[in-house]
Amino acid sequence: MKAALIATEFDVAGRLVRVLSNTGGNVNDTYIAIFRTTFSEERFVLQRLNRHVFSSPEKVIQNMKVVTEHVHNKLEAEQHMSDRIWQLPRVIPTKTGADFIQDSSGDYWRAISLIASATAYEQIQNLEHAHEAGFVLGQFQRLISDIPTDALSDTLPGFHITPGYISKMDKILEAQLAQERLKTSVDAEHCYRFISKRRDWASILEDACHRGELCIRPIHGDPKVANIMIDDETGKGTCIIDLDTVKPGLVHYDFGDCLRSCCNPVGEETQDLTRVIFDTDLCEAIVRGYMTYARSFFSDADLHYLYDSIRLLTFELGVRFFADYLAGNVYFKVKSDEQNLNRALVQFKLCESIETRESAIRRILDRFSA
Ligand code: GN1
Ligand code: MG
């Protein structure tokens, strides 16, 4: 159904001027809706949730409500102690008081308030930006740390369980298309070998969790650089967006994912693999920012697995992109058939760079763990 028709169903004053399509995001379809009254303008984010990825979109929206209401209350109570204005979007209700619209084809749409005068960059801009990215993640994890995990639904079972993604890839490889893709491309063969060599290590976080060394807590799930908003006025982090994957998990998934995303200065979509590196100066700045809040809720065991979480989340995203390429691009949105293969190559190059710099990264982590 057309986004413009859906936009008018939400409880926003004024008349619809325009709905702009937003190309960011690998999963959902996102638009910006603009409404005007005779004296003001309001913009909000309108999204159609990907039903192939999220089988219960209403639970995703419910989780978002639990988290935003919890965080808004906490931020308001702490406002007088803060050096900045923290923000988090809210779910905008429909005119009939519901949290989403289901259209005639069964798709779920939701409206979220727009964080104004702030930018979510696709790539890290400088060391200060890196510090702020870490700071925002640590603050967010602190803010949600006291939400009981049973108040949040598991909206994506298996999300960030690396061995599960490898099993999925093995299953995909039983199909003819996947076999053809693997056999006809040197790059695909390289990816497959890269994964095979790391199979035994891939369960490191899950094993630690099963042994009771690591515990399940509320997490963001997708703290990549493009989901962290920087205040245009002050240059400070102000908000973390994209709350689709907030659910119970290991804080290591967040930490590792944030570093894999923020320490690769050329970003996930680069075509130039020679420029993909894990920048340890950026890493230092992020860890410094992150530990400001996170150090207080980390146990020794938590600290012990930080290096592996960076390596693992990078590896895992490579596996996810590669498996999707083999499957014929059914999960991540693509503009070309080989895009997911290229994305996998980028993550594996980054993973290699992390492995090469292991001792330097461990030194940084040790310094901020003391
Ligand atoms: C997806 O849709 P988007 O861009 O927010 C993916 C993340 C990946 C990310 C990589 C639900 O996020 O896990 O890290 O792409 N989200 C889901 O860019 O799978
Ligand atoms: Mg996301």
Amino acid at 91: V
Distance (Å, whole) CA 75 – CA 104? 38
In this structure, the strands spanning 91-92 and 41-48 are unpaired
**Residue 101 token pair:** 């619209």
Ligand 1: atom nearest CA of 28 is 2
- Structure confidence at residue 370 (pLDDT): 83
Pocket residue to mutate for ligand 1, from 59, 224, 333, most atoms within 8 A of Cβ: 224
Distance of alpha carbon 220 from alpha carbon 244, whole angstroms: 8
Give just the sign of the alpha carbon dihedral 329, 335, 341, 343.
negative
The domain made up of 120-369 is a member of CATH 3.90.1200.10: yes
Nearest atom, ligand 1, residue 268 CA? 18
Which of ligand 1's atoms lies nearest the C-alpha of 24?
4
Supply the pTM of this predicted model: 0.97
Distances (CA, A) of 309 to 186, 234, 291: 28, 31, 15
The pLDDT of residue 23 is 84
- Rounded distance, CA 365 to CA 370, Å? 9
In DSSP terms, 33 is beta-bridged to 19, 44
The pLDDT score that the predictor gives to residue 1 is 62
Ligand 1 pocket test, pick from 27, 50, 268 with the greatest ligand atom count within 8 Å of Cβ, gives 27
Report in angstroms the alpha-carbon separations of 361 from 192, 281, 284, 311, 356.
26, 10, 8, 10, 10
* pLDDT the model gives residue 131: 98
Locate tokens 């060394």: which residue? 213
Place of tokens 């949600």: 144
Q: How far is the CA of 26 from the centre of ligand 1 (A)?
A: 6
Q: For residue 222, how far is its CA from the centre of ligand 2 (angstroms)?
A: 5
pLDDT tens, per residue, the chain with 370 residues: 699 999 999 999 999 999 999 988 999 999 999 999 999 999 999 999 999 999 999 999 999 999 999 999 999 999 999 989 999 999 999 999 999 999 999 999 999 999 999 999 999 999 999 999 999 999 999 999 999 999 999 999 999 999 999 999 999 999 999 999 999 999 999 999 999 999 999 999 999 999 999 999 999 999 999 999 999 999 999 999 999 999 999 999 999 999 999 999 999 999 999 999 999 999 999 999 999 999 999 999 999 999 999 999 999 999 999 999 999 999 999 999 999 999 999 999 999 999 999 999 999 999 999 8
